[in-house]
């Protein structure tokens, strides 16, 4: 059964990005969608690599999906800083 939230384009599955009014929305530059098959393959590879790393004595660490801007601006050059996205919360931080 085909997931109605994905559209097929050649061999790739793309997440359908539409607003409630039916307007198409493009994903952010530099990102990509992974359809069901690609997601399963990626997850299998992740599990294989995680298992190998575990056998070598390493443990999994997960960091936040976003961080304070100060963390990156303190240690990065202008080239990296120019590629960052900064969001402000309701408190102005």
Q: Is the pLDDT of residue 56 over 80?
A: yes
pLDDT above 90: percentage of residues in the chain: 23
Task: Answer for the pair 85, 65: CB distance below 8 angstroms, yes or no.
Answer: no
What's residue 48's pLDDT?
Answer: 96
Sign of the Cα torsion 15, 19, 21, 25 reads: negative
> What pLDDT digit, counting tens, does each position of 3-47 carry?
555 555 554 555 566 666 777 767 777 778 787 888 899 999 999
**Listed range (24-28, 33-37, 50-54, 76-80) with the worst mean pLDDT:** 24-28
Alpha-carbon distance of 88 to 7, in angstroms, equals 33
How high is the pLDDT of residue 83?
81
pTM over 0.75: no
End-to-end CA distance of the chain: 45
> Across the chain, which distance is largest between two alpha carbons, in Å?
52
Enumerate the β-bridge partners of residue 92: none
């Amino acid at each position: 059964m085909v997931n109605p939230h994905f559209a097929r384009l050649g061999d790739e599955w793309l997440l359908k990005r539409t607003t409630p009014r039916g307007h198409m929305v493009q994903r952010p530059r530099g990102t990509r969608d992974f359809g069901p098959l690609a997601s399963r393959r990626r997850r299998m590879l992740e599990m294989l690599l995680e298992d190998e790393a575990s056998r070598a004595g390493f443990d999994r660490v997960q960091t936040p999906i976003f961080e304070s801007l100060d963390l990156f601006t303190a240690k990065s050059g202008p080239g990296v800083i120019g590629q960052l996205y900064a969001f402000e919360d309701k408190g102005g931080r």
